[in-house]
């Protein structure tokens, strides 16, 4: 089974609708992230959470909100979807590192969201 | 200006070619230099990383860091069609552990 799962994998919605994307992980990591990926713009961080009580805005948080329901679950909401939120969304996790190991991010399979 | 700039590509090479993928960065505090590989319709996965300057080899892949020039490269030897993917460089943020800065990615196609 995948360590980081995302639901749904694909979603088409209309402008103004509320959308929730869900992420679950079995890696036991404290840190979780939401990114969006657009052609030519790479991965951009939306929100991140270092534990259940810690939520931080990333570089493009406007129009998004998140909820960290448990260590293993991190949801991203679009309160009122707009067409320029059409993108590929990734959830990622990372854990504490030891010694000379860098922080490695483990990504889910992505959610392809289309807002019409 | 972005902290991490990656050669945009796309790159298309014949099977067996040597491939060079490159990034530059501006933050001299970066200590780890990572390469992620992303296959179509998948999330990125860590391919390899280096610490500080120098080379690191892993099979057909070699990661190279030149901190004096703030330039990193990933070389793929004897490229295979299975290497066709998007490659992203990434650098963890030392002052905010857990955050990484990613390049925009270079899409590579290796033709049989």
For A38, nearest residue in chain B (alpha carbons): B104
Whether the bond into A8 is cis, omega within 30 of 0: yes
**Across residues B80-106, what is the average pLDDT?**
88
- Give the pLDDT score at B38: 96
Alpha-carbon torsion angle A102, A91, A106, A54, nearest 10? 40
Closest-CA residue to B79 (of B27, B18, B3): B18
Give the one of B41, B51, B105 whose C-beta lies nearest to A100's C-beta.
Answer: B51
3-state SS, residue A84: helix
- Give the pLDDT score at B97: 63
Mean pLDDT is lowest, of A70-79, A90-99, B71-80, B81-90, for: A90-99
Q: Is residue B36 a contact partner of residue B45, using CB atoms and an 8 Å limit?
A: yes
Interface test mutation site (partner B, options A50, A104, A112, max chain B beta carbons within 10 A): A104
Size of interface A-B (CB pairs under 8 A): 55
Q: Which tokens sit at B103?
A: 């390049």
- The C-alpha of A38 sits at a distance from chain B's nearest C-alpha, in angstroms, of 9
**Across residues A95-110, what is the average pLDDT?**
82
- State whether A109 and B43 contact (CB < 8 Å): yes
Whether the bond into B10 is cis, omega within 30 of 0: yes
């Amino acid at each position: 089974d995948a360590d980081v799962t995302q639901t749904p994998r694909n979603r088409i919605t209309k402008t103004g609708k509320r959308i929730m994307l869900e992420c679950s992980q079995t890696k036991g990591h404290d840190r979780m992230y939401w990114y969006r990926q657009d052609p030519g713009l790479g991965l951009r961080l939306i929100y991140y959470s270092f534990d259940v009580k810690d939520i931080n805005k990333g570089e493009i948080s406007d129009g998004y909100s998140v909820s960290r329901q448990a260590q293993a679950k991190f949801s991203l909401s679009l309160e009122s979807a707009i067409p320029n939120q059409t993108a590929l969304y990734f959830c990622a996790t990372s854990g504490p590192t030891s010694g000379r190991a860098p922080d490695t991010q483990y990504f889910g399979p992505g959610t392809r969201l289309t807002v019409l | 200006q972005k902290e991490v700039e990656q050669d945009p590509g796309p790159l298309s090479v014949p099977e067996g070619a040597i491939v060079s993928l490159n990034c530059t960065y501006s933050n001299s505090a970066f200590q780890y230099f990572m390469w992620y590989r992303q296959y179509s319709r998948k999330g990125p996965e860590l391919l390899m990383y280096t610490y500080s300057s120098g080379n690191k080899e892993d099979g057909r892949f070699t990661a190279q860091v030149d901190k004096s020039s703030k330039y990193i490269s990933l070389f793929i030897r004897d490229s295979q069609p299975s290497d066709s993917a998007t490659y992203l460089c990434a650098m963890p943020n030392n002052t905010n552990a857990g955050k990484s800065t990613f390049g925009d990615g270079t899409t590579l196609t290796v033709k049989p």
